[in-house]
Amino acid sequence: MQSVIDYIFKYLQLVRVTDIIDILVVAVIVYYIIKIATDTRARNLLRGIAIVLVVFFISRWLNLTALNYIIGAALQVGVFAIVVIFQPELRNLLERMGRIKIGKIIDFAAGDETDDMELTIQSVAKAADDMSRTRTGALIALERETKLGEYLGTGTILDADVSSGLLENIFVPNTPLHDGAVIIRGNKIISAGCVLPLTSNPNLSHELGTRHRAAIGLSETTDAVIVVVSEETGKISVAQEGSLTRNLSEDSLKRLLSRLMTAGADKNETIEKMKFWRSK
């Protein structure tokens, strides 16, 4: 036992303090890059890059010359493509890194709060039903696997517990936040008044307004579930994977959200979808 302790002590003497500092600094930088990137679509990009790198090293180890050459060439071009395609995300990443406070740099213990999704679903369904009766327009995006961090900055950060009363107050007409989208993560209203991308689908019904088009647009690029309340008709709809389910009641909305949002739900489960009618 003493010999082991002596060996460890001698090894530590060989390690310079600068080496330890170097490793810690790199570890902190990598940690915060990953932490910030997971709030945007860049998370999927990082996952894809990791898979390509694994395949690249395996092909080199197995001496798969042709495959190794193709992947190597693609990686060289891919660096420039990533910078161009993900320019908004990269800029947002640098801005968020610049806002990190020194006192919180070593805050590795901070974790996500446990989601009370059932309470969230009930609150959203009740708020949607109440706003449907008063024909109050609403747009509520519920985040799933794909993070919606790139859209949070377009609105006002709230970080408030989900409640039907708060949701209804946000969408009161002629108030500062009523004309945008609410983004919900777990059991928190993260941001309100957010701007969402509009769909470019030309085959939508003329009766669908900007809220419905924004809901479909976000569902085309992410796996979010978006609840829409029409200001003109009061009808409740849900956008998911580029499709729209319409004419929902409070109970049917609860059931649909439960299937889509509850942990372990089958994303491929068949749901009743609206058919897109061609523009005349």
The answer to whether the beta carbons of residues 125 and 250 sit under 8 Å apart is yes
Residue 278 within any structural domain of the chain: no
Looking at residue 159, what DSSP letter applies?
Answer: E
Neighbouring CB atoms inside 10 A of 9's CB total 9
- 222-244 burial string, b = 16+ CB within 10 Å, else e? bebbbbbbbbeeeebbbbbbebb
What is the tally of structural domains in the chain?
2
pLDDT of residue 5: 64
| Residue 84 CB partners (closer than 8 Å, separation 6+) | none
Q: Among 175, 191, 195, which Cα is nearest to 183's?
A: 191
pLDDT for 153 equals: 83
| CB 215, CB 200: distance < 8 Å | no
Residues 17 and 91 in one domain: yes
pLDDT digits (tens, 9 = 90+) for 6-54: 666 565 555 566 777 778 888 877 776 666 566 555 666 677 778 888 8
Same domain membership, residue 128 and residue 98: no
Asked if residue 270 has pLDDT above 70, the reply is no
What is the Cα–Cα distance from 246 to 214, expressed in whole angstroms? 15
Residues 47 and 158 in one domain: no
Task: Domain of residue 94: give its range.
Answer: 2-104
Q: Same structural domain for residues 134 and 257?
A: yes
Give 47 or 153, the one with higher predicted confidence.
153
- Residues 189 and 231 reside in one and the same domain: yes
Q: Please check whether residues 127 and 253 belong to one and the same domain.
A: yes
Domain presence at residue 109: no
Task: Say whether both 179 and 212 belong to one domain.
Answer: yes
Residues 130 and 253 in one domain: yes
Judged against a pLDDT cut of 70, whether residue 59 lies above it is answered with yes
pLDDT in tens, 83-95: 676 666 566 566 5
**What single-letter DSSP state applies at residue 248?**
E
**Higher per-residue confidence, 170 vs 82:** 170
| Residue 273 clears pLDDT 50, i.e. is over it | no
Mean pLDDT of the chain: 77
Q: Is the pLDDT of residue 77 over 50?
A: yes
Is residue 73 located within the same domain as residue 166? Answer: no
The answer to whether position 270 is within a domain reads no
